[in-house]
Amino acid sequence: MRIGVMVCHCGNNIAATVDCEAVAAAAREFPDVVFATDHMYACSDPGQGTIEKTIRELKLDGVVVASCSPRMHEVTFRRAVERAGLNRYMFEMANIREHVAWISLDRKRNTEKAIDLVRMAVEKLRYDRPLTAKSFEVQKRVLIIGAGVAGIQAALDCAEGGLDVVLVERKASIGGVMSKLDKTFPTIDCSVCVLGPKMVDVGQHPRITLHTLSEVEELSGYVGNFEVTIRKKTPYVDWVKCTGCGACLEKCPSRKVPDSHNEGISTTTAITIPFPQAIPKRAAIDPTVCLHFTKGTCGVCKKVCPADAIDYDLKDEVVTEKVGAVIAATGLDLFDHRKCGEYGGGRYPDVITSLQYERMLSASGPTNGHIQRPSDGAEPKTVVFISCVGSRDRSVDRPYCSNFCCMYTAKQAILTRDHIPDSRAYVFYMDIRATGKGYEEFVRRAQEEYEVQYIRGRVAQIYPLYPLAGPEGNQLVVRGADTLLGVQVEIKADLVVLAVGAESAHGAPALAEKLRISYDAYGFFLESHPKLRPVETNTVGVFLAGACQAPKDIPASVAQASAAAGKVLALLSKDKLESDPQIAQVQAMRCIGCGKCERTCPFGAIRMRELRDGAKRAEVVETVCQGCGICSVTCPVRAIQLAHFTDSQLLAEVNALCRTWTETTGS
Amino acid sequence: MPDMDRDYRIIGFLCNWCSYGGADAAGVARFNQPTELRIIRVPCSGRVDPMFVAKALLSGADGVLVSGCHPRDCHYTEGNLYARRRLELLRRFLPIIGVDEGRFEYVWVSASEGSRWRDMVTKFTEKIHQLGPMPRMAETARTLCALEGMLGVSSAQPDMWRPGEPGHDALLSMDEYKEVMDGE
Amino acid sequence: MASESSASALSANEPSVNDSAANESSTNASADRMETLRAKIAAELPNVDFVLAYGRGFDPLHATPVTVRGEKDLDRLIFDPTCVQNLATSLYGLRGKRLGVVVKGCDSRSIVQLLQERLWERENLVIFGLPCEGVLDLAKLRATLDIASARAASFTGSPRDGLLRLTFNDDGGHDGERTREIETKGLLADKCLRCQHPNPLVFDHMIGPETLPQGAQDDYADLAALEKLSTQERFDFWKRQMGRCIRCYACRNACPLCVCKHVCLADSREPHWLSAEATLQEKWLFQVMHALHLAGRCTECGECQRSCPMGIPILLLKRMMNRELKELFNYQAGVSLEAIPPLHTFLMEEDRIKDRGLLW
């Protein structure tokens, strides 16, 4: 075998703490290595050119590049060796940047380690075999989980691109958080006026199948051929018959149900249509509060329904759909401020969340757009906004910035001054993060044009001015620090609005597990690469859109949704996909047909084939195998081997290390 | 005090999806770490054959660290759950053949946990330094005549069984054993 | 054959403490039982290719496996405490045939395991189960006697509390003979002393009355003794033990569950786990591999250790594995046909495995 080795300096990234020339020189002594050199940037055009040229000129059978993580550039270099006529799997990488140069400044030890890693790569390469991908048919359909603005945008883009879309939404209507907003920053557009038409498009698009009140139960399969199981919770209303007329809502006797669309600041009925623009505009019964289900007494809605759509006996439905790709767009939830005792821990009715305030501002909200204090319905004259509630706060395990609170706080302060011209608005802030297009100008307008008082400092305590509600009404005292002036401030507020931060949607980790994607400590889904693959996940065929990946505002969510749709469209534009050939292979001669591999394969990728004499042999279904290698360890004979990660290859790496140590330690 | 100047031989088997990414993340964050660990990339901790670990330890490695995705977080759904059973069993088995249980460890590190990876590497390396080098095969063994036949009565060879020596029912006491050892 | 007839004759005269003890004590050597076994085998012969059973070996203290193919072979059958072999070992190589096999309680666990792993078809097996109260460990006998010159041996009573009568040629040059009686209790194999399954767990024909298990649970005293040593001392212990290994693979060949010995990893070049070098590493690693392969499968029949010509206590490794499997997964191999082997399944939350990342 003829092996070439290239050691990359990565500019100074590697060369600063690793003697790359010495690594290349050491590599020349390794078995089968006929060429070794170092290069400033192996991944650059000239670097790849050198690799290709050397392969051709020296008739190499395999190449080792010692550079960055294979998670970064393995694909790049595989393409390069392929261009030079080699099989793309006759290539190995030694990670001497992330695993060597960047974790230690000890040049001598780093160089020794880099030499070891190259030795391991060479030894593994000596057992590499050319592998060829198989192609398979794909389902030209996409599953989108979550129908907030990101899911809606992704669905429309995919559908317009010619894909069939299965859109799953947990709530009764699509729309997500954006459908609850009054206006959007920095343009003060009416939120639902912008979103509404898109929602209608989703409802009417012939390529979009909408499943609301539905959740993904299980996802199996692999890119191009996923199979998803969806549980459709019953609304106890036949949605084919229901016209959304609302007659049932008017007559429903159970009227004290907190309205979740209005963030609990108003009540609704047990059978309800979430909001006027809901898609689908259909009534649904909440069985946890409906008198028919809780007491068995009522049946009014069934009597009054003109379409005879109410059916208390309906059951949840489980549907399965076949799709080729998945976009997760499950959005966010908001921080529960009751964890913060300094803001009253939820005890004061006039301390509300920003989203509750948003509902109050909305013309279609419970107060028809009038700002009213929850305690007495009076119009507040002094409104205090507190930012970073559950953001950038280690004490409540929310160290991250929620990205959009600064902006919506400015917007709400402006709207306050708009709605109540004689009011005063104060904002307690830590820093103002206004990095988007037109954002800084918007905050300036709030401060200068609308005279919103920005106070840089944290609020230490909120307490009632008159604990027993005196003549001054129910005012609250907001006590905090103005760190710019270096003084304590106290503001008598009629209403306090907490700019609560973003959290991952509840149940996000469980969904991630179903999708086999990673999530961070806070439940946000993990992208494949923070810079270069922000839409992909580590599971091929599963993409991310919107705030499920990290807190995002509307334009960023929409942009990522379109990006995800673009990725899906590109992926499914091919009629056939190539399967990764790094999969399990059975040595039929060694297989004893015990079937243990079949039992442990998580994907059902192994079948037992019966030979003519009745003996059994394991057989791998190539498109189903995902290449985990569980079977290989299960097999008593190790007759099933994972291509490119065979026992012999991993043993070669182990041996390469143990041998050098034995040599260098002289025993 | 563990000897931190000497380099030890530590092999890591890291799953491609979580822990290898976590080790990358530690590098990207420039977290300073001991250099002794050499990482072998595998697709999944479920690919890690306990025999690789045994092979490494019996071939001269001073420590072996396996790291995979957290339970429930496996890229292949179940690989780390099989691995957990296999590796736990191995971990409990190793002491009987004279390999300190501290020389082998398996942990879970996700792709986002660069600092956790740094901690794991640092602690594991320290542990190996505390334990010192793995005993070498090539060194001259202290003769352990007294132990022969003491454990598991040899049934096949007459010369393995010396008349009058205790069998299974009467194992050597520790004092007796030490006596024999010291007298050597 | 002489030993058997004399044994049964003696057992009839054996004074007994109580009735049940008398019944039990006669199980291993009872003439009735042999007659039943012969009759049952004779009845099944038309249904099977042949029956694996025990016959007398090269001397009165050794048994040997025999194949019974016809009525004429029935006379060769024996069953007494010299029948140490696990006949299940021969089964896998004979897969595809329809066989009868004679098993003791411990041997039946190997069969349970083979069936559970779908390595044999139950319908192709006729099992003659023999309750057993113990077999001899000849090494223990050799410790006190030169047994090579024994001309005849007979057993009296149950091996648990009976006697072994050995007849030697008289050394005085006369035509006479010399006899010696030894209590069998001290001669039993270690595995019999901790036996919990004296009665076959799977059988078509149970030959003779069932017996009670040995009283004591396995306390793993042998492992505990080894564990009292320091790590270094344990390492040295095995270094010395493994150093004797001649890589004959008798241990593997005697193992009833080493079903892949024809494609054994120890001999394979691809994958290449072991080299042919006779280094300590290779010898040692093979034993660790054997133990790992048998994890969740080994029934501790002890054939590996019994067959080792170098007297290496390799069963200890498997017992260590079994002790931990029992503790971790409450699992014992070869006792249930339906059990799922612990390494072929998992729990999302393992009750007895702590999260390793938090331990240090």
Query: What ipTM was reported for this prediction?
Result: 0.86
The model's confidence at residue A472, banded by pLDDT at 50, 70 and 90, is low
Q: Are residues A126 and A149 in the same domain?
A: no
Distances in Å between the alpha carbon of A124 and those of A69, A321, A391, A598, C281?
16, 42, 47, 28, 22
**What are the φ and ψ backbone dihedral angles of C195, each rounded to 5 degrees?**
-65, 130
Q: Are residues A497 and A514 in the same domain?
A: no
Query: Considering A572, A603, A623, which residue would you say is the last residue of a domain?
Result: A572
List the CATH number of the domain containing A404. 3.50.50.60
Mean pLDDT on A226-245: 96
Residue-wise pLDDT for B9-68, tens only, equals: 999 999 999 999 999 999 999 999 999 999 999 999 999 999 999 999 999 899 999 999
Residue A654 in domain: no
Within 8 A of B127 by CB-CB distance, chain C residues are 360
Higher pLDDT, C281 or A474: C281
Ramachandran region, residue C276 (left: φ > 0; alpha: ψ -120 to 50; beta: rest): alpha
Interface of C with A in 200-259 (CB under 8 A): 259
Q: Which helix (H) or strand (E) holds C314?
A: none
Q: In this complex, which of B105, B141, B177 lies closest to C236 when CB atoms are compared?
A: B141
Q: Are the Cβ atoms of B138 and A667 closer than 8 angstroms?
A: yes
What pLDDT shows up at residue C175?
64
Residue C263 touches partner A, C-beta closer than 8 Å? yes
Residues A1 and A456: their CA atoms lie apart, in Å, by 68
Q: Report all structural domains of chain B as residue ranges with CATH numbers, in order of start.
A: 10-131 (3.40.50), 141-182 (no CATH)
Q: Are residues A480 and A355 in the same domain?
A: yes
The model's confidence at residue A495, banded by pLDDT at 50, 70 and 90, is very high
Mean pLDDT on A401-416: 97
Cβ-proximal residues to A661 (8 Å cutoff; 6+ apart), any chain: B9, B60, B61
Within 8 A of A590 by CB-CB distance, chain C residues are 260, 263, 268
Residue A663 in domain: no
Q: In this complex, which of A587, A595, A636 lies closest to C293 when CB atoms are compared?
A: A636
Interface residue of B13, B73, B93 to substitute, partner C, most C CBs within 10 Å: B93
In degrees to the nearest 10, what's the CA dihedral of A173, A175, A178, A179?
-50
Residue A117 touches partner B, C-beta closer than 8 Å? yes
Residue B146 touches partner C, C-beta closer than 8 Å? no
What are chain A's partners, defined as 3 or more CB pairs within 8 angstroms?
Answer: B, C
In degrees to the nearest 10, what's the CA dihedral of A75, A81, A82, A87?
-100
Output the pTM of the full model: 0.74
Residue A491 in domain: yes
Within 8 A of C324 by CB-CB distance, chain B residues are 89, 92-93
Residue B58 touches partner C, C-beta closer than 8 Å? yes
What are chain B's partners, defined as 3 or more CB pairs within 8 angstroms?
Answer: A, C
Within 8 A of B76 by CB-CB distance, chain A residues are 516, 602-603, 626, 628, 630
Residues A230 and A217: their CA atoms lie apart, in Å, by 5
Q: Which residue in C has a C-alpha nearest to residue B101's C-alpha?
A: C231
Q: 3-class SS at A383?
A: strand
pLDDT above 90 as % of chain A = 87
Q: In this complex, which of B82, B90, B148 lies closest to C346 when CB atoms are compared?
A: B82
What are chain C's partners, defined as 3 or more CB pairs within 8 angstroms?
Answer: A, B
By residue count, chain A amounts to 667
Q: Are the Cβ atoms of B160 and C295 closer than 8 angstroms?
A: no
Interface residue of C147, C218, C237 to substitute, partner B, most B CBs within 10 Å: C237
Residue A427 in domain: yes
Q: Are the Cβ atoms of C272 and A647 closer than 8 angstroms?
A: yes
Residue C260 touches partner A, C-beta closer than 8 Å? yes
Q: Are residues A321 and A199 in the same domain?
A: yes
Q: Are residues A175 and A324 in the same domain?
A: yes
The model's confidence at residue B76, banded by pLDDT at 50, 70 and 90, is confident
Count structural domains, chain A: 5
Q: In this complex, which of B58, B97, B107 lies closest to C281 when CB atoms are compared?
A: B58
Q: Which residue in B has a C-alpha nearest to residue A110's C-alpha?
A: B35
Neighbour tally for A629: CB within 10 Å:
31
Residue-wise pLDDT for C153-207, tens only, equals: 999 999 999 999 999 876 655 666 788 999 999 999 999 999 999 999 999 999 9
Q: Are residues A591 and A615 in the same domain?
A: yes
C310: nearest Cα among C222, C246, C236: C246
Q: Are residues A509 and A497 in the same domain?
A: no
Instruction: State the nearest Cα–Cα gap between A10 and chain B, in angstroms.
Output: 13
* DSSP class of B141: P
DSSP C248-291: --HHHHH-TT-TTGGG-TTT-SSS----S---HHHHHHHHHHHH
Q: Are residues A452 and A411 in the same domain?
A: yes
Q: In this complex, which of A69, A654, A667 lies closest to B24 when CB atoms are compared?
A: A69
The model's confidence at residue B138, banded by pLDDT at 50, 70 and 90, is low
Q: In this complex, which of B85, B149, B171 lies closest to C225 when CB atoms are compared?
A: B171
What pLDDT shows up at residue A141?
97
Residue A660 in domain: no
Residue A655 touches partner B, C-beta closer than 8 Å? yes
Residue A392 in domain: yes
Pairing, β A542-544 against β A33-39: unpaired
Residue A7 in domain: yes
Mean pLDDT on B125-138: 89
Q: Are the Cβ atoms of B143 and C240 closer than 8 angstroms?
A: yes
Interface of A with C in 555-614 (CB under 8 A): 587, 589-590, 592, 594-596, 599-600, 614
Give me A301's structure tokens: 């809605």
Within 8 A of B96 by CB-CB distance, chain C residues are 223, 226-227, 234, 316-317, 320
Instruction: State the nearest Cα–Cα gap between C230 and chain B, in angstroms.
Output: 8
Query: Considering A450, A477, A502, which residue would you say is the last residue of a domain?
Result: A502
List the CATH number of the domain containing A598. 3.30.70.20
Residue range(s) defining the domain that contains residue A252 = 247-304
Q: Are the Cβ atoms of A518 and B56 closer than 8 angstroms?
A: no
Instruction: State the nearest Cα–Cα gap between B145 and chain A, in angstroms.
Output: 25
Instruction: State the nearest Cα–Cα gap between A487 and chain B, in angstroms.
Output: 38
Strand ranges inside C5-78, DSSP E = 50-56, 63-68
Residue-wise pLDDT for B142-176, tens only, equals: 333 334 444 443 333 333 333 344 333 334 445 55
Residue A131 touches partner B, C-beta closer than 8 Å? no
Kindly tell me if the per-residue pLDDT of A411 is higher than 70. Answer: yes
Q: Are the Cβ atoms of C270 and A648 closer than 8 angstroms?
A: yes
What pLDDT shows up at residue A579?
85
Q: Are the Cβ atoms of A658 and B41 closer than 8 angstroms?
A: no
DSSP C182-200: EEGGGGB-HHHHT-S--S-
Kindly tell me if the per-residue pLDDT of A206 is higher than 60. Answer: yes
Q: Are the Cβ atoms of B59 and A658 closer than 8 angstroms?
A: yes
Q: Are the Cβ atoms of A651 and B55 closer than 8 angstroms?
A: yes
Q: Are the Cβ atoms of C343 and B82 closer than 8 angstroms?
A: yes
Residues A596 and A600: their CA atoms lie apart, in Å, by 6
Q: Around A417, how many Cα atoms within 13 Å sit in the side-chain half-sphere?
A: 19
Residues A384 and A463: their CA atoms lie apart, in Å, by 13
Residue A648 touches partner B, C-beta closer than 8 Å? no
List the CATH number of the domain containing A115. 3.40.50
What pLDDT shows up at residue B3?
56
Residue type, A526: L
Instruction: State the nearest Cα–Cα gap between A121 and chain B, in angstroms.
Output: 9
Q: Which helix (H) or strand (E) holds A490?
A: strand A487-493
Q: Which residue in C has a C-alpha nearest to residue B99's C-alpha?
A: C231
The model's confidence at residue A533, banded by pLDDT at 50, 70 and 90, is confident
Q: Are residues A391 and A352 in the same domain?
A: yes
Q: Are the Cβ atoms of A614 and C118 closer than 8 angstroms?
A: no
What pLDDT shows up at residue B121?
96
The model's confidence at residue A57, banded by pLDDT at 50, 70 and 90, is very high
What pLDDT shows up at residue A369?
93
What pLDDT shows up at residue C171?
64
Residues A290 and A251: their CA atoms lie apart, in Å, by 13
Residues B99 and B92: their CA atoms lie apart, in Å, by 10
Instruction: State the nearest Cα–Cα gap between A538 and chain B, in angstroms.
Output: 7
Residue B183 touches partner C, C-beta closer than 8 Å? no
Q: Are the Cβ atoms of C342 and B85 closer than 8 angstroms?
A: yes
Q: In this complex, which of A113, A627, A650 lies closest to B35 when CB atoms are compared?
A: A113
Interface residue of A582, A642, A654 to substitute, partner B, most B CBs within 10 Å: A654
Higher pLDDT, A442 or C150: A442
Kindly tell me if the per-residue pLDDT of B141 is higher than 90. Answer: no
Residues C261 and C253: their CA atoms lie apart, in Å, by 7
Kindly tell me if the per-residue pLDDT of A644 is higher than 70. Answer: yes
Residue A294 in domain: yes
Q: Are residues A497 and A513 in the same domain?
A: no
Residue B113 touches partner C, C-beta closer than 8 Å? no
Residue-wise pLDDT for A149-175, tens only, equals: 999 999 999 999 999 999 999 999 999
Residue-wise pLDDT for A330-383, tens only, equals: 999 999 999 998 998 888 999 999 999 999 999 989 999 999 999 889 999 999
What pLDDT shows up at residue A540?
86
Q: Which residue in A has a C-alpha nearest to residue C274's C-alpha?
A: A651
The model's confidence at residue A473, banded by pLDDT at 50, 70 and 90, is low
Per-residue pLDDT of chain C (360 residues; tens, 9 = 90+): 333 333 333 333 333 333 333 344 444 446 789 999 999 999 999 999 999 999 999 889 999 999 999 999 999 999 999 999 999 999 999 988 999 999 999 999 999 999 999 899 999 999 999 999 999 999 888 888 888 888 899 999 999 999 999 998 766 556 667 889 999 999 999 999 999 999 999 999 999 899 988 777 888 999 999 999 999 999 999 998 998 899 999 999 999 999 988 889 998 888 999 988 888 989 999 999 999 999 999 999 999 999 999 989 999 999 999 999 999 999 999 999 999 999 999 998 898 998 765 445
Q: Which residue in A has a C-alpha nearest to residue C290's C-alpha?
A: A636
Q: Are residues A342 and A420 in the same domain?
A: yes
Q: Around C238, how many Cα atoms within 13 Å sit in the side-chain half-sphere?
A: 30
Query: Considering A520, A540, A572, which residue would you say is the last residue of a domain?
Result: A572
Q: Are residues A181 and A260 in the same domain?
A: no
Please, what is the average pLDDT of chain A? 94
